[in-house]
Amino acid sequence: MRRFFELEILDRSFGLAAQAFVALLPLVIIIVSIFVTDSGDAIAESLGNRFGLDGAARAAIRVLFEHPGVAAISWLAISISLLSAFSLSRRLARAYAAIFEVTALPRKQSWRGLVWVAIQVALLVASSMLRNLRAENGAVVAAVVVVALLVVWFAADVAGLRLLVPTAAIRLVLASAAVANVGRFGLATWAYLYMSKSLSAQADQYGPIGVTFALFTYLLAAVLVYLAAPLIVTTWVTWRAKAEPAELLAE
């Protein structure tokens, strides 16, 4: 817990979640708009199906993601979204560097941040496709999809960590990705059981603003998983390194 507060993990999580909400989400909308005319409806429908929403919650989601389509997209909007997403990757890289206690990513390797953004967008799309496949088929397919999701999440986490903190030890990266996978699965289970109730309650009381708050809360929890996983691993490794000499002396 001491390192949690020393590294200001909660404060960093709030900042990263807020920036992710205004960076990655618009970027996903822009990308979807390139291939789908009614991108807002498509995203709203996907979220509604994912969380099992109906009534006021589904209507609020649709209002929140209303979008005029690809014709309204300007190069300025695309540039701002990319810049914001790139800035997000830089902030996350600095947070990871502090947790792993390594040198922050140098500016000459800033291209790694752009690759990380591309991986996150691809992860969102792949996860959405797999969830839709699970919802449309039987129990056997659903089990296979869950395993596939875990593999995709693990691979994406390993790739993201190697991009943003290339000097971190590979064993720490693999362990962090594994712990993050456990956290992601727990978060996905919580969302499946309770997110629809939360979104529906917020939509009934506050409309689209309530939905925004519920989605941000979910995003904040996801960012906490991103940061808590390497923190748990590095703290445990440090504790074991200090404990082993004491055990040897005791013998």
- Tens of pLDDT, residue by residue over 84-118, are 878 888 888 999 999 999 988 888 888 888 888 88
Element (H, E) at 221: helix 208-250
Q: Which residue has the higher pLDDT, 228 or 50?
A: 228
Burial level of 218, CB count in 10 A (0-12/13-18/19+)?
Answer: middle
Question: What pTM was computed for the model?
Answer: 0.78
Domain ranges in the chain are 2-250
For the stretch 64-83, pLDDT in tens is: 666 544 444 556 666 777 78
